Amino acid sequence: MCGIVAFTGNKDAVPVLLGGLFRLEYRGYDSAGIALQNICAAPANTIPAGDLQAGRAQAAQTQPAHQPQPGGSQAVGHPPLHIIKRVGKVAELRKALEDAHLSGAFYTGIGHTRWATHGAPSEANAHPHCDCSQTIAVVHNGIIENYAQLRQELQGAGHRFVSQTDTEVVAHLIEQEYQVAPGKLMQAVRRTVARLSGSFALAICHSAHPGQLVVTRNDSPLALGTCPDGAIAASDTPALIEHTRQVYYLNDRDLAVLHQNGHIEFFDPAGTPSTPTAVTIEWDLEDAQRGGYADFMLKEISEQPRVIKDTLAGRLDASQGRLLFEELALSHQELAAADRVVIVACGTSYHAGLIGKDLIETWARLPVEVEVSSEFRYRNPLLTPQSLVIAISQSGETADTLEAVKLARRAGAHVIALTNVVGSRITMEANEVILIKAHLEIAVAATKSFLAQVALLTLLAMHLARQRGQACDKQVLDLYRHMQQLPIQISEILANTTSIERCAQECSHAQTALFIGRGVGATTCYEGALKLKEISYLHAEAFAAGEIKHGPIALINPDGLADPAAQTPVIAVACKSATYDKMLANIEEMLARGAKVIALATVGDARISELTPHVIFIPETPECLSPILASVPLQLFARFIAVARGANVDQPRNLAKSVTVE
């Protein structure tokens, strides 16, 4: 996940920037880079000794200068920016900086850790990105959704691009705007921001604006503040906390100009000066890395609205009623010729696959099998060159799933990997890779990666349906419109967790818990039960509700009829669906045998409240999207129980985040 640090002040910026980037390492990244203004406007007695000329000469070798475009904004009379980037760790960037012998008199700069989204991890794609004449450097977190269109326009105007990133358009756009009003950097950034859609946090420096940085954001975090030696901005609190505890948060598309003396000017999107209020950070560093949340699992659950937004970003071509999966090279004909889909995965990823099966079969009318990788790899599965294999793995390193992929490739099948980790082994084994947009997941229990997998599979299922002529524009647009509601709906669930916590408290002493549901509701239950057992150690099993009469109902403790303390908890996913009435009948069967039924229902459902006092309501959504919403309270339910039972939520016993052995 990308990270930004920007500093200007009266001391060497390099240790501040590198220190901040090190602090952000826990978020995960694949490359790092830094841009330094080769200008020291600080008082002479604070300038470290060193030979600036020598530094410049050597730094110039770290990245060849681009050819300025005709009319480029070359900052005449100003030393060029020094830009150094490395694939790999921040430690490698530090080494590259040491090797460049830059003498240390660099008081203003921007730094970045990149988690690849557009373009592979490489030096060319690492940030900072520059304009044609390398006078402007930009670091960016987020996704510029309209980058393709902007890039085409800028290329048409003569701008030359050197990376595959969405970010590079920002530097060229600023260059273009700066030419309209030379000397007005903030205005150029402001006009650039007005043309961007998507999410972004940006930090920008210009060689003709010594000791100045411009920052802005939209839908992506950025905090900034004055510190004893200058002013600092960062995408995450850990990078700021040792410099200042008084921070400002910008509203969407607001801008700030950071000056070397620590002064910060704030502007609204129209360029009118504004005066935000500073907030005091009270967390310590460890808290800050968890963003103030009690544990990473809770933090990651809370990040899910953003994950869904990122998953949707750039996937719709509304004018054509099409979903965009540009990473898939399969032709229309190849997709039409596919005879079936085989999904392989483990654990939570397997549950996402089960939901994918339902959607692909319903919409694309393609037969789908889902198999746990550890079984698939030891069978002799039926695969042909027309089989489409989808391997799902958050980590991209799960040994069984990797072997399943190799087996499928040997059998001639076409393998698409869905993973969260750029450069993971699965990305090297599969024919094609689709990255889910969950960003780094630290807690062992998969939460946000599950939602990202399900959301992506939902889009992919509709894409397959459209490609195979089974769905029309309207279905695509309707689905996308409903999915756009999900981030707000998840936020609503997260904003009121009282009923979830109350239900969890009631169940925390139970010996066993059962989960029942139908259709995608049953799959939601499989995942809910896995979450509960893995982090709280409370035994939990999930069943398709129609199956309970065939055995599992014997698990209900009949003592519960007389003694509420003996009631077996049954979590019933009973959202509005085609099988809703059947679910009510199943709930009644459980209640009649003394179970404590906790129902997950659609908001406004009065019938369910007549059956049980324990109801967790979720916002209304089409049945196909209900697993995305219903999973959130189940994640929280598991976590509340784990906390009540004193378990280590982030690192449950016997488990590892990625299972790289059989």
Which residues carry out catalysis?
Answer: 2, 657
Whole-angstrom CA distances from 312 to 256, 305, 593 are: 29, 11, 44
Please identify which residue in 8, 74, 226, 401 interacts with ligand AGP, judged by CB under 6 A.
Answer: 401
Q: Would you count residue 394 as binding ligand AGP (CB under 6 A)?
A: yes
Q: Which residue is nearest to ligand AGP (CB)?
A: 347
Collapse the DSSP code of 515 into the 3-class scheme (helix H, G, I; strand E, B; otherwise coil) and give the result: strand
Q: What is the DSSP letter of 38?
A: -
Q: CB-wise, 229 or 534, nearer to ligand AGP?
A: 534
Q: CB-wise, 396 or 569, nearer to ligand AGP?
A: 396
Residues whose CB falls within 8 Å of the CB of residue 626, separated by 6 or more in sequence, listed in order: 520, 521, 524, 573, 575, 576, 577, 618
Please identify which residue in 393, 612, 626, 635 interacts with ligand AGP, judged by CB under 6 A.
Answer: 393
Q: Which stretch binds ligand AGP (CB under 6 A): 347-355, 566-574, 613-621, 638-646?
A: 347-355
Q: Would you count residue 424 as binding ligand AGP (CB under 6 A)?
A: no
Residues whose CB falls within 8 Å of the CB of residue 515, separated by 6 or more in sequence, listed in order: 525, 526, 528, 529, 540, 541, 542, 543, 570, 571, 572, 573
Q: Which stretch binds ligand AGP (CB under 6 A): 235-243, 313-321, 409-417, 444-452?
A: 444-452
Please identify which residue in 117, 348, 536, 626 interacts with ligand AGP, judged by CB under 6 A.
Answer: 348
Tell me the closest approach of the beta carbon of residue 229 to ligand AGP, in angstroms: 43
Please identify which residue in 37, 398, 497, 586 interacts with ligand AGP, judged by CB under 6 A.
Answer: 398
Pairing state between β 230-234 and 3-9: antiparallel
Q: CB-wise, 96 or 372, nearer to ligand AGP?
A: 372
Please identify which residue in 75, 445, 457, 584 interacts with ligand AGP, judged by CB under 6 A.
Answer: 445
- Assess contact for 92 and 51: CB atoms under 8 A: no
Whole-angstrom CA distances from 318 to 181, 325, 462 are: 35, 14, 14
Please identify which residue in 215, 446, 513, 647 interacts with ligand AGP, judged by CB under 6 A.
Answer: 446
Q: Which residues pair with 569 in a beta bridge?
A: 596
Q: CB-wise, 136 or 444, nearer to ligand AGP?
A: 444
Q: Would you count residue 212 as binding ligand AGP (CB under 6 A)?
A: no
Q: Would you count residue 141 as binding ligand AGP (CB under 6 A)?
A: no
The string of DSSP letters for 102-129 reads -TT---EEEEEEE--SSS-SSTTTSSPE
Q: Which two tokens stand for residue 256?
A: 């700030």
Q: Would you count residue 395 as binding ligand AGP (CB under 6 A)?
A: yes
Q: Would you count residue 658 as binding ligand AGP (CB under 6 A)?
A: yes
Q: CB-wise, 233 or 444, nearer to ligand AGP?
A: 444
Q: Would you count residue 237 as binding ligand AGP (CB under 6 A)?
A: no
Whole-angstrom CA distances from 124 to 96, 187, 559 are: 15, 28, 67
- Residue 7 Ramachandran class (φ > 0 left, ψ -120 to 50 alpha, else beta): beta
Amino acid, res. 615: V
The string of DSSP letters for 204-265 reads EEETTSTTEEEEEEESS--EEEEETTEEEEESSGGGTTTT-SEEEEPPTT-EEEEETTS-EE
Count of residues that bind ligand AGP according to CB under 6 A? 15
The site map against ligand AGP for 20-49 (x = CB under 6 A) is: ------------------------------
Q: Would you count residue 3 as binding ligand AGP (CB under 6 A)?
A: no
Please identify which residue in 24, 224, 444, 598 interacts with ligand AGP, judged by CB under 6 A.
Answer: 444
Q: Which of residues 57-76 bind ligand AGP (CB under 6 A)?
A: none
Please identify which residue in 133, 141, 176, 349 interacts with ligand AGP, judged by CB under 6 A.
Answer: 349
Whole-angstrom CA distances from 6 to 14, 44, 134, 222, 533 are: 10, 23, 18, 11, 43
Rg (CA), the chain: 27
| Residue 656 to residue 391: CA distance in whole angstroms | 20
Residue indicated by tokens 């003592």: 559
Tell me the closest approach of the beta carbon of residue 287 to ligand AGP, in angstroms: 24
How many CA atoms within 13 Å lie on the side-chain side of 520? 26
Tell me the closest approach of the beta carbon of residue 632 to ligand AGP, in angstroms: 15
Q: Would you count residue 659 as binding ligand AGP (CB under 6 A)?
A: yes
Tell me the closest approach of the beta carbon of residue 647 to ligand AGP, in angstroms: 14
Q: What is the DSSP letter of 341?
A: E
Burial of 165 (0-12, 13-18, 19+ CB in 10 A): buried
Q: CB-wise, 348 or 497, nearer to ligand AGP?
A: 348
| Residue 197 to residue 377: CA distance in whole angstroms | 44
Q: Would you count residue 167 as binding ligand AGP (CB under 6 A)?
A: no
Tell me the closest approach of the beta carbon of residue 516 to ligand AGP, in angstroms: 20
| Residue 218 to residue 310: CA distance in whole angstroms | 13
Q: Which of residues 508-527 bind ligand AGP (CB under 6 A)?
A: none
Tell me the closest approach of the beta carbon of residue 604 to ligand AGP, in angstroms: 31
Q: CB-wise, 526 or 617, nearer to ligand AGP?
A: 526
Tell me the closest approach of the beta carbon of residue 398 to ligand AGP, in angstroms: 3
Q: Which stretch binds ligand AGP (CB under 6 A): 65-73, 132-140, 391-399, 558-566?
A: 391-399
Please identify which residue in 303, 534, 605, 650 interacts with ligand AGP, judged by CB under 6 A.
Answer: 534
Tell me the closest approach of the beta carbon of residue 130 to ligand AGP, in angstroms: 36
| Residue 600 to residue 261: CA distance in whole angstroms | 55
Q: At what angle do helices 90-100 and 52-60 cross, to 10 degrees?
A: 120
Q: CB-wise, 341 or 418, nearer to ligand AGP?
A: 418
Collapse the DSSP code of 627 into the 3-class scheme (helix H, G, I; strand E, B; otherwise coil) and give the result: helix
Please identify which residue in 139, 346, 430, 598 interacts with ligand AGP, judged by CB under 6 A.
Answer: 346
Which positions lie near ligand AGP, rule CB under 6 A? 346-349, 393-395, 398, 401, 444-446, 534, 658-659
